[in-house]
Amino acid sequence: MDIDDVTPVRPSTPKADAATKPTAPKTPTSSTKALPPNLLLPSFSGTYKLKENPSILKQIAQLLLRTQQSSAKHVYLTKEPPKIKKAVAIGVHGLFPANYLRPMIGQPTGTSIKFANHCAEAIRRWANSHGCEDCEIEKIALEGEGKIGERVENLWKLLLNWIELIRDADLILIACHSQGVPVSIMLLAKLIELGVVSSTKVGVCAMAGVLLGPFPDYRSSMGILMGSAAELWEFADPQSEVSKRLEASIKAVLSYGARLTYIGSIDDQLVPVEMIQSAIYAPAHHPYIYRAVFIDSRIHAPDFIAHLVGFALKLRNLGVSDHGLIRELSTPLAGSLYSGEGHSRLYDDPQVYDLAVTHALETTDVEGAVPPCEVHHRPGGGLSNPNPYHLPWIMRGLLEEDFVKTELSAETAELVRQFDDWKPVTKALKDVKYRLEAVRSKL
């Protein structure tokens, strides 16, 4: 997979009041080894390209074969990014867990301020590199705990203090995490439905969102997480009130033209990177959704499995089915609730916010009317599947896609090389390699 050219900034758990001060990189000495940068896969520049007009030869072929060029299932890079004069960066924190769970789920206090600061810095970097140095950037940190519906109402009242600021902005970027992701999307839908936001560019940086519930296995073992947290499992039921409200809000936001950037962590100890309990809201299909996976370089080397996940997400971003590959990999990739840091680690990396800004400002609109967001929930069933043949069958179907065979042949060849070099250490991942051996010839 192509990797965006970024300058890694690896802050060491900055305090909220120091979130705007970048940490100076330490010069590695003989006793300290510099860590490689964290990865975000797939890379934005390696996914979308500038739209090219079909050649004369291709136009003649289409005419002779009486075929019409199918409407694009994805966006393209824009040739002329907009000029931004006024921007608003909004931060919305996740769940406030009990004190004894904070080492596992993360410290929420001050994270709204942190997100707003990171957002503003990313907007400033983009503005300075695109001739918008005079851009005015305002920061809004929305704090307040409770269940999702309660938070939406309470944060809406806070947001009323900045309504005119929001109304006048050229860009609104919301950075949100965990339970804060559905809260933010519902708030944004309200802004759109009430006409406060009518022509503004809008982006959402949705980090490790609990959009379809946490791991189902944790529901019984974590009865201690009652109150606000217990509600999260209701997202696993598409017919629950909170699920239906979220789905309606996502559809409204995408119909408006907002760009949603869903980022999951490959080492998330709470939310798997797939379907029924998902950080990437996999049931939804829309060209304005970009999905990526965050890979913490301290834990994962950029090996075959990381690039395979990135490859599958790239297909989704380009409107091609991944044949359920991410769902099948979710169980062996699940982080440990008692040791992983993936759920909160990703929000300290600046490139996460840069991706959301780029997605919001450097992609074309879909030609004609914005297509409706399609949401296809997978009926029943959890993540684990006892059938060992599913993974090779899924992989075979994915590799048979015309787009994969033609446009992504070089990436497939690179996956073969990485597969041969891959030395998994866990029993679950060793099993993944064993099952994929069956389709190595296809690779």
DSSP secondary structure letters along 133-176 = TT-EEEEEEE---S-HHHHHHHHHHHHGGGHHHHHH-SEEEEEE
Vertex 232: Cα angle to 339 and 286 (nearest 5):
100
Instruction: Produce one character per residue of 174-198: b if its CB has 16 or more CB atoms within 10 Å, e if not.
Output: bbbbbbbbbbbbbbbbbbbeeebbe
- Between 104 and 359, residue with greater pLDDT: 359
DSSP code of 388? T
Q: What is the pLDDT of residues 219-254, one digit of tens each?
A: 554 544 556 677 888 888 899 999 999 999 999 999
Q: What is the pLDDT of residues 246-282, one digit of tens each?
A: 999 999 999 999 999 999 887 665 655 443 346 888 8
Give the least confident one: 22-36, 293-307, 325-339: 22-36
With CA atoms as reference, report the closest residue to 421 among 301, 294, 266.
301
Tell me whether strands 374-375 and 284-285 are parallel, antiparallel or unpaired. Answer: antiparallel
Greatest mean pLDDT among 116-120, 232-236, 417-421 lies in 116-120
With a cut of 90, say whether residue 216 has pLDDT above it.
no
* Average pLDDT of the segment spanning 315-326: 91
156 and 190 Cβ atoms separated by less than 8 Å: yes
Residue 370 banded pLDDT, cuts 50, 70, 90: confident
With a cut of 50, say whether residue 116 has pLDDT above it.
yes
* Average pLDDT of the segment spanning 208-213: 83
Q: Which pLDDT score is estimated for 21?
A: 39
With a cut of 70, say whether residue 17 has pLDDT above it.
no
CA 275, CA 213: separation in Å to the nearest integer?
A: 9
Q: What is the pLDDT of residues 34-80, one digit of tens each?
A: 777 888 999 999 999 998 766 676 667 656 655 444 445 889 999 99
With a cut of 60, say whether residue 12 has pLDDT above it.
no
With CA atoms as reference, report the closest residue to 274 among 205, 332, 341.
332
Q: Which pLDDT score is estimated for 290?
A: 97
Which burial class, exposed, middle or buried, applies to 220 when counting CB atoms under 10 A from its CB (0-12, 13-18, 19+)? exposed
With CA atoms as reference, report the closest residue to 114 among 349, 332, 292.
349
With a cut of 90, say whether residue 111 has pLDDT above it.
no
Residue 8, preceding peptide bond in cis (omega within 30° of 0): no
With a cut of 70, say whether residue 196 has pLDDT above it.
yes
Instruction: Name the strand (E) or helix (H) holding 41.
Output: strand 39-41
How is residue 186 written in tokens? 């519902």
Residue 298 banded pLDDT, cuts 50, 70, 90: confident
Radius of gyration for the chain, computed over Cα atoms and rounded to the nearest angstrom: 21
With a cut of 70, say whether residue 27 has pLDDT above it.
no
346 and 265 Cβ atoms separated by less than 8 Å: yes
With a cut of 90, say whether residue 107 has pLDDT above it.
no
CA 160, CA 162: separation in Å to the nearest integer?
A: 5
Q: Which pLDDT score is estimated for 383?
A: 47
Give the least confident one: 72-81, 158-167, 209-218, 349-358: 209-218
Residue 389 banded pLDDT, cuts 50, 70, 90: confident
How is residue 304 written in tokens? 């075959």
CA 338, CA 221: separation in Å to the nearest integer?
A: 13
* Average pLDDT of the segment spanning 323-337: 72
Percentage above 70 pLDDT, the chain:
73
Hey, which residues does 40 pair with through a beta bridge? 294
How is residue 399 written in tokens? 């590799």
Q: Which pLDDT score is estimated for 142?
A: 96
* Average pLDDT of the residues of the chain: 80
| Count, residues in the chain | 443
Q: Which pLDDT score is estimated for 337?
A: 39
With CA atoms as reference, report the closest residue to 98 among 222, 234, 232.
222
Q: Is 7 helix (H, G, I), strand (E, B) or coil?
A: coil
The DSSP line for 245-309 is HHHHHHHHHHHHTPEEEEEEETT-SSS-BSSSSBSS-TTEE-TTEEEEEEE-TTT--S-HHHHHH
Domains and CATH numbers, the chain: 86-375 (3.40.50), 390-439 (no CATH)
